[in-house]
Amino acid sequence: MSKPIVSILTTVFNREKYLADCIESVLASTYQDWELIIVDDQSKDASVAIAQSYAAKDARIKVYENKQNLGDYPNRNQAAAYAQGKYLKYLDADDLIYPHGLQIMVDTMENHPECALGVSQQVAEDTEPYPFVMAPKEAYYREFLMRGVLGFPPSLAIIKKTVFDEMGGFSGKRYIGDTEFWLRLARAHSILKIEPGLVYWREHDDQEYQKGMQSHDYLINNFLLSMEMLNSEHCPLEQSHITQAKRFYKKRLSRTIIRLLWETKSIRKVKAVKDACGRSWSQILCSI
């Protein structure tokens, strides 16, 4: 049996409410040269049974069960380890891909072999027709000095497997492991902006992203990641732009901390955020 062009990777933890719709969306794709790898991370609901019912009817669907709970990003790496395709296409169990989505993603990547990552996402500063290519300096400039271009969930991306493997996959940093991977990739490889609207990314209260926003861990981890990437010797930006970006991110953090203090009326909670970000009260006040 020949290897598929694209491996669709669906990691699962208690997603019985959404999983069947996710799988059905893959089956409805106009592009059919795929394998669907479903990796369950010790679900306590009917997720495995749902996945296995589909695998029994279509040999392209493969179901794996982890012997122990790995967590979000380690499980994504586990799924990638099973993949045989040229491309990795994450599709989270609570998301859907539209019938034309896979076809456009694969075809566009095939037409731009110089790109390691494709993303189907529209942001305000996309001012040219899709598809278009961003070199590392442009991607970083737009991310750190404009309104951002690398903050997207894995379901919106398609990745060359060789590059994913060379980079060692996701590091596992909670809430921001995907953003960190995109930033590491973008400083060395070109990124392809594919037309938006190919995947339905579902928002709900049980997402890791929502949990991170509620606990403020997303805010903390994202600030620390931004500083790490801007301080890296591999950052493709010019030094003047790095300095400008650092100033901007510190000012934004300071304003967010002051707003949190006003909203929560809790010095203890806000101090915990401030301390985790490595900022003093004087630095906060001076950079507002």
Output the pLDDT for position 273. 93
Residue 243, amino acid: T
**Residues 7-40, buried b or exposed e (16+ Cβ, 10 A)?**
bbbbbbbbbbebbbebbebbeebebebbbbbbbb
Q: Is the pLDDT of residue 149 over 90?
A: yes
Q: Within 10 A of 118 (CB to CB), how many other CB atoms are there?
A: 25
- Nearest CA to 183 out of 152, 158, 217, 218 is that of 152
78 and 186 both lie in a single domain: yes
Q: Report the CATH number at residue 168.
A: 3.90.550.10
Per DSSP bridges, beta strands 132-134 and 190-194 are antiparallel
Q: Is the pLDDT of residue 212 over 60?
A: no
Per-residue pLDDT, averaged over 257-261, amounts to 92
Question: For residue range 12-33, what is the model confidence (pLDDT) as tens digits?
Answer: 999 999 999 999 999 999 999 9
Q: State the burial class of residue 109 (Cβ atoms within 10 Å of its Cβ: 0-12, 13-18, 19+).
A: buried
Model confidence at 215, pLDDT cuts 50, 70, 90, reads low
Q: For residues 1 and 32, is the Cβ–Cβ distance under 8 A?
A: no
Percentage of residues of the chain with pLDDT beyond 70: 95
Q: Is the pLDDT of residue 182 over 80?
A: yes
Counting the structural domains of the chain, the total is 2
Model confidence at 1, pLDDT cuts 50, 70, 90, reads low
- Nearest CA to 176 out of 140, 121, 231, 219 is that of 219
Q: Which residue, 167, 187, 202, sits at the end of a domain?
A: 202
Q: Is the pLDDT of residue 104 over 80?
A: yes
Question: For residue range 40-90, what is the model confidence (pLDDT) as tens digits?
Answer: 999 999 999 999 999 999 999 999 999 999 999 999 999 999 999 999 999
Residue partners of 2: CB distance under 8 A and separation at least 6: none
Assess if residue 232 is contained within a domain: yes
34 and 131 both lie in a single domain: yes
Model confidence at 161, pLDDT cuts 50, 70, 90, reads very high
pTM of the model: 0.93
